[in-house]
Amino acid sequence: MTHAQLEQKFPAPLMIGQKDTTVPVWPVFKQNATANELVGYLFESIDFASVPGFSGTPVNLLVALDARGVFMDVQVISHHEPVFLEGLGEGPLHKFVNQYRGISLKQNVAIDTAPRDRADKSGGNVHIDGVAKATASVRIINQSLLSAALKVARKKLGYAGTRDPDQIARIREELAESLDIRALTANGLFKRVVFSNGDVENGFAGTAGAGLDAEALARPDDAFIELQVGLVSVPSIGRSLLDDASWQRLKGRLEEGDHAVLVWWNGRYGPVSGSFVAGTVPDRLILSQEGLPIEMRDLNLDLKLRDADALPPASMKVFRIISQAGLDPAQALDLSLRVTRLKGMIYPERIGQDFAMRYRLPERFYIVPAGDNKSWLPVWKQRWWELAIVLAGLIVLFLALARQKSLAQDGRRFGWFRTAYLGFTLFFLGWFAQGQLSIVNITGVIQAIKDGRGLDFMLYDPVSIVLWCGVLVSLLIWGRGTFCGWLCPFGALQEFAARLGKWLKLPQIRVRAALDARLKLLKYLVLAVILGSVFVAPSLTDKLAEVEPFKTVITLNFVRSWPFVLYAAGLLLASAVCYKFFCRYLCPFGAGLAVLGRFRLLAWLPRRAQCGQPCQTCRYRCDYEAIRPDGTIRYDECFQCMDCVVIYQSDEKCAPLILEKKRRVPISIRAA
């Protein structure tokens, strides 16, 4: 972005200063009387957080951050995300980034679709709407934006750090010490602090609130408030402080990664006012870490202490900190008690002062994670059950293929298994889990490597990663056919289209062998053009990749402009009359797998000496035309449908077995 372009985007009364020579940001000023007041900073996200998107190219955002760390504006400068290029269109992308306006870096941003009050951007946690069909892309954008903004905030706004939910310490759940209240207090696990009337009065010294509390002036040594605080979500503290029933009730209200703070108090003042509503945020007590506020909310639980006689009668509440807030138990918890005094009668002036206490958990109660940024981990945790189903599906398929003889022994049983698995591939892997592998995966990796960027962006799509692992294993063992014949959602849809075409008695076209061989070379040409464009004309790569209808059919469920829908529908219609037309002749991803599949270890399809010499049954039955006249298999064109294996084992379909069966039939000879 140039200075002139920025002035057009942020016109008067804002003034854009000259670009910083040490940090690539533009200061933004606003005239206040005769002085120019600093409003904030403008910067491009790619200068600070170059996180590759799914095309291998980072999304570049123009970010306006005010002097308090609040987003003034976020705009998309450039992107190459496939789902927003001609797919969903750029509208949802712009709508997504617009949600960051008014959000502070001191808040936790969660992307979800749960029904919440999106207009409320106060408090420690803010929820914004994601984009259906683009879950991984918006998480990459979120990571880019927040990472870049925090780097600017540290360098220009004095921020000391941030909360990364995936890099915080974890409580050691297996450690369960048994301590009484005296030991808990002595070790700082149940931290005690007393503010006397004199302490509070001294806190207001020099302000308009000084001398307004007659009781504090009369009895300065008396307790204003006695506070005791404990992190009761830590098993050793919770079990020791609470009785067994209360501990079980507390555990039942906490999700994994949540924390709970027990606050006990006595005296003339409390951490909640008389107007406090149960279940809400405390109105007088603030929790923060490293200067960043963390929201805690009343659990509204009636809990009892294990040794209630050890403490005088007092009030007690337990506040919950959800895991998304990013509280780090390895860091000190800073608690501030807000004390407010009123001056005046009709419209009194409110004067407030904060009184701080610090709580620190000993090291033996937590585990500090090692390593670098792992911001993709929440995506994997959130989709764990989908990944478990995908992994189970791969295991079932691999076991079935490894036992092909028993699987294909009964043609009817095998037909049901294949239909069921293709249904799983289409409906679960494709339309639900969005696990359609594509040439875009390959071009994205090449683009990232060419530009010297990492491949972390792939980790934001865990289903695809698991599928890729399965495909790479299957390529080494069986070749291309495992994915193309069993794990490709669009391939499964084409097979169902072919079955529908036969059921409707549509004319079936079988391309002559010579022409079929020439047409099959087309997909290698398409592959070469797309891969070449990555180096010659990267801007065309996304457009050329549209030869694949996967985005239209699987990702967007045909909700797209009519040329794309018409193209995809035409390919399905072609498959209804010419078996798997796109897969055999046009698919660049299949061509890439065919090339990689040449390094397979096994020629796993069984053959007989009579196959092709003279028997041609399997060759004529193969809808893929992947069997040569001499009976050998073209594994680069084989889709592993295993129809030839069913024929090979059937003494009703395989000509050599039929002849052998006839020879075994005894012919009785009787006298004439």
Segment holding 7, helix H or strand E: helix 3-9
Average pLDDT of 537-542? 82
Report helix angle 439-450 to 588-596, nearest 10: 70
Q: What is the DSSP letter of 99?
A: T
Q: What is the DSSP letter of 104?
A: B
Amino acid at residue number 627: I
Distance, CA of 633 to CA of 639 (rounded, Å) = 11
Distance, CA of 340 to CA of 357 (rounded, Å) = 17
At 73 the pLDDT is: 92
Segment holding 16, helix H or strand E: strand 14-16
Better pLDDT: 229 or 162: 229
Q: What is the DSSP string of 226-275?
A: EEEEEETTSHHHHHHHB-HHHHHHHHHH--TT-EEEEEEEEES--SS-TT
Distance, CA of 127 to CA of 620 (rounded, Å) = 59
CA distances from 96 to 126, 130, 462, 522, 662 (A): 14, 7, 22, 39, 71
The contacts of residue 267 (CB under 8 Å, 6+ apart) are: 223, 224, 225, 226
Answer for the pair 271, 357: CB distance below 8 angstroms, yes or no: no
Answer for the pair 455, 50: CB distance below 8 angstroms, yes or no: no
The radius of gyration computed from the CA coordinates of the chain, to the nearest angstrom, equals 34
Distance, CA of 265 to CA of 269 (rounded, Å) = 8
Distance, CA of 463 to CA of 433 (rounded, Å) = 7
Answer for the pair 27, 3: CB distance below 8 angstroms, yes or no: no
Per-residue pLDDT band at 224 (split at 50, 70, 90)? very high
CA neighbor of 145 nearest in space, from 181, 101, 186 = 101
Distance, CA of 654 to CA of 617 (rounded, Å) = 7
Answer for the pair 286, 338: CB distance below 8 angstroms, yes or no: yes
CA distances from 404 to 74, 410, 417, 479 (A): 55, 11, 12, 15
Q: What is the DSSP string of 373-429?
A: --TTHHHHHHTHHHHHHHHHHHHHHHHHHHTHHHHTSSHHHHHHHHHHHHHHIIIII
Q: Please give the distance of CA 600 from its chain centroid, rounded to a whole number.
A: 33
Share of the chain above pLDDT 70, in %: 91
Q: Select the highest-mean-pLDDT range: 365-374, 518-527, 531-540.
A: 518-527
Per the prediction, the chain carries an average pLDDT of: 84
pLDDT tens by residue, 556-574:
788 777 888 899 999 999 9
Per-residue pLDDT band at 164 (split at 50, 70, 90)? very low
Lowest mean pLDDT, pick from 127-131, 262-266, 372-376: 372-376
pLDDT tens by residue, 575-623:
999 988 999 899 999 999 988 888 877 777 777 778 878 888 888 888 8
Question: Facing residues of 42 across strands?
Answer: 26, 64
Answer for the pair 488, 436: CB distance below 8 angstroms, yes or no: yes
Tokens representing 618?
């399997």
